[in-house]
Amino acid sequence: MGRIALSPADHRLAFALLGAVALVPLGVQSEYWLGVLITGLYFAMLAQNWNLLAGITGLFSMAPSAFAMVGAYTTGLLSHHLGIGPWVGIPAGAVVSAVVGFGLGRITLRLRGAYLALTTLAFSEILRLVVANSIEWTRGDLGLSVPGILGGAKAPILYLFLGVLAAYQVLLMLLLRSRVGLFLLAIRDDEVGAVARGVDVVRYKTLAFTLSAAGCGIAGALFVHFLQLASPELGLILQTGLVISMVVIGGMGTATGPLVGALLVQVASEALREVGVRHLLVFSALVILVGRFFREGLMGLLARRRSPARLVARPASDAKRLA
Amino acid sequence: MLTVEIVFAGLLMGSFYALMALGLTLVFGILKIVNFAHGEFFMIGAYAYTLLVTRAGLPQVPAMLSAVVLGAAVGLVMERLLMRPLYTGVIGPGALRDEYAIIVTFGLSIFLINLSHQVLGPYPVKGPDLVATSRMELFGMFVSPHRLLASGLAAATLALIVWLIKTTVWGKRVQAVAQNRFGAAIAGIDHARVSALVLALSGGIVALSGALLSPLFHAYPDVGAFPAVKSFVVVVLGGMGSIPGSILGGLLLGVLENFGAIYVSYEYRDTFGFIILMLVLLLRPQGLFGERAREV
Amino acid sequence: MSAALLALSGLRKSFGGILAVADVTLAIAPGELVGLIGPNGSGKTTLLNLITGFYPPEHGRVRLLDRDVSGQPPDAIFRAGLTRMFQQVRVFRRLTALQNLEVAGRAAGLSAAAARQRAGRLLERLGLAPHAGDEVGALSGGQQKLVEFGGCFMSEPRLVVLDEPFAAIHPTVKQVMVDVIGERHAAGQAFLVVSHDIPAIMRLCPRTVCMNAGAVIADGPTEQVMTDRGVVEAYLGGHAR
């Protein structure tokens, strides 16, 4: 899959998609659908951040929702108990999530594959249960009411989310162009080989965890100010499952896959709800199919259709480039 | 007397944990993966037994057996359809393989939970106890006869499986494939068949646990989640792939949990399993009996 | 002693109850091409792992150019000037051949352009230029081994450690490796080559070290070591563990 993934075409497509989303409020006035799109953008942020950790660095974490919840409750608690506004609360959410992510990254350095998945799963559930049970602080399952932003108007909020997502996309692109991106991909493919080739695996794995957590934290903080409610349900493994589905269906390890997956899944969820079919039923089935047969997800299918020859060895043109 | 009662009750529950953990560890031994859909076999067993008795009017014993068969069948189908790529060489070794296993089994888990939610609805259904009397006295302690019988069955199944694996020819084949699939294949063992049967076996015994415990836990879509977590804890504690580890770990967890529920916080009781899991994975990932794999 | 490139003193490492490396003391001078032989289980790979930072020694020191690197992680050892190849080929399967080499180059501090250039030239020398843009996972085993081999030279290391480089590969691939080792040695590169391929060692390495049961039992000019009594017995099972 290395051909389409993270290639210039991949990044261009991602930005084109974001551009298309930016045009939606011009045509769609329905508050409901704008809300659906905003939720889709929230998930797109989580999806991209999870992709950084799992698709690019190979660290299969089950904690993206937990970090979203950390960000959400940081800003929620700050506003609820201390009256601190969202424009301080949201960055604070990012910082706290980053710190927690850094910590989790450090302690799980020696874990791989399913062991890492299990540990992050346990971590995610512990965090959620603590939040849900700390009723004096968080009001538990009743949720914490949180002030809105931008007057609660959907279109401006959508552009805010889009702006943050675009900023994230740019950062990702720059990261992947630098040697850090190359190192993360190397760690994904063979951690032992990477460290033998001089990659400071400790530093870069921790970096991936920290960035991913911070990104999820910002998303969570933004989202609760949109919903005007923070609830422990944000951190359910169910939500993580949804995020993972989005990335797998869209295409793990690509720049566009998580975006496509998130938006598609979000819109499809609405359609499925009309029909009375549980959306996770359909998406998990797709995940199994994709995992089993179309490993590269939608992006992979797209790549194959556009240029099947690209999957085969390229002859002379590369040799010329190397002179 | 109280301590003995706590230990005894803990052992009763522990026999189930041991049985379920055995199922998980067998799959790990054969396929070298953690089956994230493990809990859903429990759910299948719980629903099968409960619905066959309450809606289809089947007597309890055939319903129980049917639950086991259903669990085994699902395990078999899962192996054939989804697990083959793990050893047919389509996926390379290492990172890609782990990724595949997690995605596919986790996806299956969510799929099965939502399938039962969609088809059977979210509300718990309860089936009848195996034994009608609710309490009896044993050595001065009050126990539920159902629990006693169920645990007895679980323990007997446990012993049967261990006997199967350790002494029979088939069991030796399983051990061979677990130790070295390639070598076993060269020696003429049909390793694909062994894989399929082990997964069927695992599905069956986990479904049995679900069926036996369903009068207690009831049957609902994600009833398998907590048993799954407990299985993970036991297997990680005892060492992935270690049969004695799973059994001892299961019994130990049952007893510890009982003490914990009575003497420590009730609110956070669900977090204990997760905390133990994290601690073990961080401090001694190979568990009490497992071996540290050589990486280089 | 300060002339030594790599100096091992009293290295010891055990696993469980088994002593895998027993008080090994050894020195390699700059530009030397040394072979390391010994029957299976003699501790060769463990010694390599101790040298390259994958295991910390229980006892003893590893010095690279007079700098004590004992117990440092492998990436620090890479930066100190020592690179290695593994017995089971290790490559980045989803990266291209070019990118595989670029990783080592960028880790060594080269700019993107410089790394790409050097990688390109190396691939050219190894005969892999047509596959520069191919995912390494799609290449044959021998080609993957060459990619891994090429990665050892991106950082212009002082010492290159090869673990069974000639095992199970096509003769043409082996020839490329042997030629490159010869060329680089002539240009002053030091090598430590672990191998069971005695004829290859005899052709390539002026000096050979033999291990058995964790200890060094012979160390000297290759012809002498190959005819040494103890070495012959070790290989024929006299004192093998």
Residue among A45, A117, A115, A277 at smallest CA distance from B106: A117
Pairing label, strands C33-37, C207-212 = parallel
C114 Cβ contact list (under 8 Å, min separation 6): C105
Burial of B210 (0-12, 13-18, 19+ CB in 10 A): buried
The Cα–Cα gap between B100 and B91 comes to 8
Q: Work out the number of other CB atoms within 10 angstroms of the CB of residue A180.
A: 18
Each residue of A94-153: pLDDT tens digit? 999 999 999 999 999 988 888 899 999 999 999 999 999 888 888 888 888 888 888 878
Each residue of A145-184: pLDDT tens digit? 888 888 878 889 999 999 999 999 999 999 998 999 999 9
Each residue of B110-151: pLDDT tens digit? 999 999 999 998 899 887 877 766 677 777 677 778 888 888
The DSSP secondary structure of chain B, one letter per residue, reads -HHHHHHHHHHHHHHHHHHHHHHHHHHHHHHSS--TTHHHHHHHHHHHHHHHHHTS---HHHHHHHHHHHHHHHHHHHIIIIIGGGTSSSS-STHHHHHHHHHHHHHHHHHHHHHHHHHH-SS-B----SSS-S-EEETTEEE-HHHHHHHHHHHHHHHHHHHHHHHSHHHHHHHHHHH-HHHHHHTT--HHHHHHHHHHHHHHHHHHHHHHHHHHH-B-TTTTHHHHHHHHHHHHHH-TT-HHHHHHHHHHHHHHHHHHHHHS-STTHHHHHHHHHHHHHHH-TTTTT--PPP--
Q: Which residues of B touch C49 (CB under 8 A)?
A: 296
- Which ipTM did the prediction report? 0.91
What is the DSSP-derived secondary structure letter of residue C39?
Answer: -
Each residue of A30-47: pLDDT tens digit? 888 899 999 999 999 999
Please list the residues that pair with C163 across neighbouring strands.
Answer: C194
A316 at interface of C, judged by CB pairs closer than 8 A: yes
The Cα–Cα gap between B78 and B83 comes to 7
B65 Cβ contact list (under 8 Å, min separation 6): none
The Cα–Cα gap between B5 and B13 comes to 12
Nearest residue on chain B to A115, alpha-carbon basis: B281
Pairing label, strands C67-68, C59-64 = antiparallel
The torsion of the CA quartet A306, A308, A309, A314, rounded to 10 degrees, works out to: 90
Q: What is the pLDDT of residue A321?
A: 32
Identity at A148, one-letter amino acid code: G
Each residue of C149-172: pLDDT tens digit? 999 999 999 999 999 999 888 999
Closest CB to C78 among A183, A185, A196: A196
Q: What is the pLDDT of residue A315?
A: 33
Task: For chain A, give the percent of residues with pLDDT over 70.
Answer: 93
The Cα–Cα gap between B152 and B144 comes to 12
Identity at A252, one-letter amino acid code: M
Token look-up 């970096």 returns A207
Q: What is the pLDDT of residue C71?
A: 87
**Subunit contact B92:C93, Cβ cutoff 8 A:** yes
What mean pLDDT value characterizes chain A? 88
Residues in chain A: 323
How close, in Å, is residue B95 to chain C by CA atoms?
Answer: 10
Q: What is the pLDDT of residue B285?
A: 78
Q: What is the pLDDT of residue A49?
A: 97
The Cα–Cα gap between B25 and B175 comes to 12
C217 at interface of A, judged by CB pairs closer than 8 A: no
Nearest residue on chain C to B291, alpha-carbon basis: C16
Q: Which residues of B touch A194 (CB under 8 A)?
A: none
Q: Which residues of C touch A202 (CB under 8 A)?
A: 73
B109 Cβ contact list (under 8 Å, min separation 6): B36, B37, B38, B39, B40
Of A188 and C228, the one with more pLDDT = A188
Q: Cβ(B35)–Cβ(B203) under 8 Å?
A: no
The Cα–Cα gap between B243 and C186 comes to 56
The Cα–Cα gap between B293 and A35 comes to 50
Four-residue CA torsion sign, C126, C128, C129, C132: negative
Each residue of C191-227: pLDDT tens digit? 999 998 888 999 999 999 999 888 999 899 998 888 8
How close, in Å, is residue C14 to chain B by CA atoms?
Answer: 13
Q: What is the pLDDT of residue A139?
A: 87
Closest CB to C120 among A183, A201, A322: A322
The Cα–Cα gap between A208 and A191 comes to 14
Reported confidence tier of residue A316, pLDDT bands at 50, 70, 90: very low
pLDDT > 70? residue B282: yes
Q: What is the pLDDT of residue A314?
A: 32
Q: Cβ(C5)–Cβ(C164) under 8 Å?
A: no
A164 at interface of B, judged by CB pairs closer than 8 A: no
The Cα–Cα gap between A39 and A26 comes to 18
Range A32-40, long-range pairs (CB < 8 A, 24+ positions):
A34/A154, A34/A155, A34/A158, A35/A154, A36/A266, A36/A267, A36/A270, A37/A158, A37/A263, A37/A266, A38/A154, A38/A157, A38/A158, A38/A161, A38/A226, A39/A223, A39/A266, A40/A262, A40/A263, A40/A265, A40/A266, A40/A267
Q: Cβ(B287)–Cβ(B240) under 8 Å?
A: yes
Reported confidence tier of residue B207, pLDDT bands at 50, 70, 90: very high
The DSSP secondary structure of A108-147, one letter per residue, reads TTT--HHHHHHHHHHHHHHHHHHHHH-HHHH-GGG-EE--
pLDDT > 70? residue B294: no
Please list the residues that pair with C209 across neighbouring strands.
Answer: C36, C219
How close, in Å, is residue C3 to chain B by CA atoms?
Answer: 31
The Cα–Cα gap between B121 and B124 comes to 8
pLDDT > 70? residue B293: no
Nearest residue on chain A to B113, alpha-carbon basis: A281
Each residue of B17-52: pLDDT tens digit? 999 999 999 999 888 889 999 999 999 999 999 999
In the stretch 53-72 of chain C, residues with CB closer than 8 A to chain A read 54
Interface test with A, best of C75, C88, C126 (most A CBs within 10 A): C75
What mean pLDDT value characterizes chain B? 86
Reported confidence tier of residue A48, pLDDT bands at 50, 70, 90: very high
The Cα–Cα gap between B113 and B111 comes to 6
Q: Cβ(C149)–Cβ(C85) under 8 Å?
A: yes
Task: For chain C, give the percent of residues with pLDDT over 90.
Answer: 65
Closest CB to C133 among A189, A197, A318: A318
The Cα–Cα gap between A207 and A184 comes to 10
pLDDT > 90? residue A69: yes
Q: Cβ(A249)–Cβ(A262) under 8 Å?
A: no
- For residue B265 the two structure tokens come to 């916080």
Q: Which of A37-41, B96-100, C234-238 has the highest mean pLDDT?
A: A37-41
Task: For chain A, give the percent of residues with pLDDT over 90.
Answer: 66
pLDDT > 80? residue A246: yes
The torsion of the CA quartet A177, A180, A185, A188, rounded to 10 degrees, works out to: -160
Q: DSSP alpha helices (H): ranges in A144-256?
A: 154-177, 179-189, 191-196, 201-227, 237-250
* Residue C44 CA: distances (Å) to CA of B27, B64, B122, C40: 35, 57, 60, 8
- For residue B67 the two structure tokens come to 């639950």
**Subunit contact A190:B274, Cβ cutoff 8 A:** no
How close, in Å, is residue B30 to chain A by CA atoms?
Answer: 15
Reported confidence tier of residue B176, pLDDT bands at 50, 70, 90: confident
Q: What is the pLDDT of residue A43?
A: 97
Residue among B282, B228, B106 at smallest CA distance from A60: B106
Q: What is the pLDDT of residue B265?
A: 67
Mean pLDDT score, A182-203: 95
**Subunit contact A318:C94, Cβ cutoff 8 A:** no
Q: Cβ(A79)–Cβ(A23) under 8 Å?
A: no
